[in-house]
């Protein structure tokens, strides 16, 4: 089972400090994963671009195990959209673009047909024994107000005990909670049900404002489309930014959304003159080398820094500094994967200015050095 570098989470194990030397680029290249340089929660918010536990390179840190076999666990009352999200993410064959494919199956107790919230039934070909082969077991949105079948709880525990990853979409978190698998873990669900999840499972640390939470080996996501965000997070974690972006393009969705559920929960809109920051966000992504301080951005929008900061958080769910940093890191990933630019050149291109700043921010956000990231994903096309 993978051990994940975490930030201020007592139930996880932190890796030992880096004991290695330096590579040709001057990056730290020590023990697997920069254990002493774990990501700080204050650098970026715990949202889509920054899950609380940011092991993006797990196959560097365990015995070569990657997701190859995926099972979706369903029972009566499943929501078809959330099930469809899992089918699209893991069951679609994209080999025509050279993308990985998975052995994917939908499983139910006794391989029985299951009812859906849309009024139709789904025919299922596999019973729960099929989950014994899965590297990833997914639970789509299922009823929160019904007892979870005993065989489902048993299957979830069996998957957990043998080291498989588990993932829930929306109210699928209630099934994981009923199995006791959220106790002592950070997790999330649809914002509408987050208070209920916290009340029913008091040992779980529910984060209502985020799109997903990766508490290895359990990944929970918020409502509906947030399931796609979580799936793309796993694609990125397993295969790198280029592959995750290619999958996202096929789905016609952004490879990584910014902000969390807070942007959907808020009802009050701060008092400012701008109708939307959308054009500014697009401009930022094309001008990462510019001065993107809060004062410079506020001037561009003809706002005071305080008003701009309020409006930015309202529309994106995060701070200007966190958003800009995440965009610079995302662009750095693309350049590290797809070009031969030196670390210094990449740093200059994305606006960090120098290699030291790039190493600092990249290490904080990705928990790995730029050079190690390049060695891992450089061959991925």
- The band of 18, judged by pLDDT with boundaries at 50, 70 and 90, is very low
pLDDT the model gives residue 269: 34
Provide mean pLDDT across the span 183-195: 94
How many H-runs (helices) and E-runs (strands) does the chain carry?
A: 14, 10
Residue partners of 363: CB distance under 8 A and separation at least 6: 28, 34, 37, 39, 369
Residues 316-370: pLDDT tens digits?
878 899 889 988 998 898 898 888 999 999 999 999 999 999 999 988 877 778 9
Q: Which helix (H) or strand (E) holds 306?
A: helix 305-316
pLDDT the model gives residue 25: 42
Higher confidence at residue 300 or residue 338?
A: 300
Residues 73-121: pLDDT tens digits?
999 999 999 999 999 999 999 999 899 999 999 999 999 999 999 999 9
Residue 300: pLDDT over 50: yes
Give the highest mean pLDDT range of 168-182, 228-242, 248-262. Answer: 168-182
pLDDT the model gives residue 258: 58
Residue 16: pLDDT over 60: no
- The band of 243, judged by pLDDT with boundaries at 50, 70 and 90, is confident
- The band of 132, judged by pLDDT with boundaries at 50, 70 and 90, is very high
What is the phi/psi pair of residue 237, to 5°? -65, -35
Cα first-last separation, the chain: 28
Share of the chain above pLDDT 70, in %: 76
Residue 252: pLDDT over 50: yes
Mean pLDDT (the chain) is: 79
Residue 238: pLDDT over 50: yes
Provide mean pLDDT across the span 115-141: 97
Provide mean pLDDT across the span 174-197: 95
What is the phi/psi pair of residue 211, to 5°? -85, -35
Residue 373: pLDDT over 90: no
Token pair, residue 315, equals 């529309």
pLDDT the model gives residue 14: 33
Q: Could you please state the CATH topology (level 3) that the domain comprising 58-251 is classified under.
A: Rossmann fold (3.40.50)
User: For residue 288, what is the DSSP state?
Assistant: T
Distance of CA 56 to the CA centre of its chain: 9
Q: What is the CA radius of gyration of the chain?
A: 21
Selection from 148, 103, 158 nearest residue 128 by Cα: 158
Within a 10 A sphere around the Cβ of 353, how many other Cβ atoms? 12
pLDDT the model gives residue 260: 54
- Residue limits of CATH 3.40.50.880 in the chain: 58-251
Residue 378: pLDDT over 80: no
- The band of 7, judged by pLDDT with boundaries at 50, 70 and 90, is very low
pLDDT the model gives residue 72: 98
- The band of 59, judged by pLDDT with boundaries at 50, 70 and 90, is very low
Distance of CA 10 to the CA centre of its chain: 21
CA torsion angle for 306, 308, 313, 316 (degrees, to 10)?
A: -170
- What Cα–Cα distance (Å) separates residue 117 from each residue in 76, 120, 170, 350? 9, 8, 14, 46
Provide mean pLDDT across the span 151-158: 97
- The band of 307, judged by pLDDT with boundaries at 50, 70 and 90, is very high
pLDDT the model gives residue 48: 38
């Amino acid at each position: 089972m993978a051990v994940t570098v975490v930030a201020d989470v007592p139930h996880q194990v932190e890796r030992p400090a880096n004991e290695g030397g330096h590579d040709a680029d001057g990056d730290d290249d020590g023990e697997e994963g920069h254990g002493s340089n774990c990501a700080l929660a204050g650098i970026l918010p715990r949202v889509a671009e920054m899950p609380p536990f940011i092991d993006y390179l797990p196959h560097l840190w365990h015995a070569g195990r990657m997701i190859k076999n995926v099972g979706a666990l369903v029972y009566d009352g499943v929501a078809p959209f959330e099930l469809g999200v899992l089918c699209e993410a893991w069951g679609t064959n994209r080999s025509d673009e050279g993308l990985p494919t998975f052995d994917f199956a939908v499983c139910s107790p006794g391989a029985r047909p299951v009812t859906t919230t849309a009024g139709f039934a789904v025919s299922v070909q596999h019973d729960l024994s099929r989950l014994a082969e899965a590297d990833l077991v997914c639970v789509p949105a299922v009823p929160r107000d019904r007892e979870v079948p005993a065989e489902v709880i048993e299957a979830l525990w069996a998957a957990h005990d043998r080291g498989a990853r588990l993932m829930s979409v929306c109210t699928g978190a209630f099934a994981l909670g009923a199995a006791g698998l959220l106790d002592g873990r950070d997790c999330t669900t649809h914002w509408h049900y987050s208070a209920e999840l916290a009340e029913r499972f008091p040992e779980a640390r529910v984060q209502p404002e985020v799109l997903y939470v990766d508490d290895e080996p359990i990944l929970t996501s918020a409502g509906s489309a947030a399931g796609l965000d979580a799936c793309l997070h796993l694609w990125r974690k397993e295969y790198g930014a280029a592959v995750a972006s290619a999958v996202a393009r096929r789905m016609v969705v952004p490879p990584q959304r910014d902000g969390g559920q807070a942007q959907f929960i808020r009802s009050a809109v701060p008092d400012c003159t701008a109708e939307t920051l959308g054009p500014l966000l697009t401009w930022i992504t094309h001008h990462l080398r510019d001065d993107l301080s809060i004062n410079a951005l506020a001037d561009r929008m003809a706002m005071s820094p305080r008003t701009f900061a309020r409006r930015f958080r309202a529309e994106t769910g995060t701070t200007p500094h966190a958003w800009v940093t995440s965009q610079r890191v995302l662009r750095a990933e693309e350049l590290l994967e797809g070009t031969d630019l030196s670390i210094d050149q990449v740093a200059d291109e994305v606006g960090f200015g120098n290699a030291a700043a790039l190493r600092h921010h990249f290490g904080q956000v990705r928990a790995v050095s730029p050079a190690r990231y390049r060695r891992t994903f450089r061959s991925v096309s």
